[in-house]
Amino acid sequence: MTKPSSRGFTLIELMITVAIIGVLSLLAMLGYARWVRVSKSAEATAVIASIKAGQQSYRAETFLFLDCSGSKSLTTHYPSGTPNAAKKAFNLAACGSDPVCISFKKLGVVADGQVNYVYSCSAGRADATAITGFGGRIYGTANDTWNIVRAVGDLNGDGTMATFESSSLDNAIWSDNTYD
């Protein structure tokens, strides 16, 4: 007697295939989620660059940087409100009496209509004090007029704030908790 030919796959082979597909799809979802957070971070660097360019133009005309957030504080920001996972309207045409919005309008800041971050900008005169940023980062001594620009956002709604910061004292854009 001859052995009948086998056709198809065994249950074990099918289960292994399904498990491999499951692992691959999990890795793809994690990679996609990280890619989305990285693309949201690109907004912060672009708007910070726009604010810094506006600050340089303002300084060329007035010999000072504009203290957009007032009182050398980085706690007053635009758009106002607590950062969360929802986008906020960045509409400089409808500032009303918001002083931070009016200051950003003076600088000619460019941003898309909806943003993931809130922005603040502090500035001061040359007074030989140490300029300290987020997390105690020391940018240097203010031997010239200076500014610090900060973007804060909650990219995934978990309450952990992603922070981007830059200063006129260096050209770097620093970040903390960017991909949490």
Name which of 22-31, 57-66, 84-93, 170-179 the model is least confident about: 170-179
The secondary structure of 4-60 as a DSSP string is PPP-S--HHHHHHHHHHHHHHHHHHHHHHHHHHHHHHHHHHHHHHHHHHHHHHHHHH
Instruction: Report yes or no on whether pTM surpasses 0.85.
Output: no
Task: Tell me the C-alpha distance between 20 and 104, whole Å.
Answer: 51
Contact 71, 32 (CB under 8 A): no
Residue ranges making up the domain that contains 81: 11-176
For residue 74, what pLDDT is reported?
80
Query: 32-49 pLDDT, tens per residue?
Result: 888 877 787 888 999 999
Q: Is residue 23 part of a domain?
A: yes
Q: Is residue 140 part of a domain?
A: yes
Q: Is residue 103 part of a domain?
A: yes
Mean pLDDT, residues 122-129: 78
Angle between helices 11-62 and 99-107 (to 10 degrees): 80
Q: In the chain, how many domains are there?
A: 1
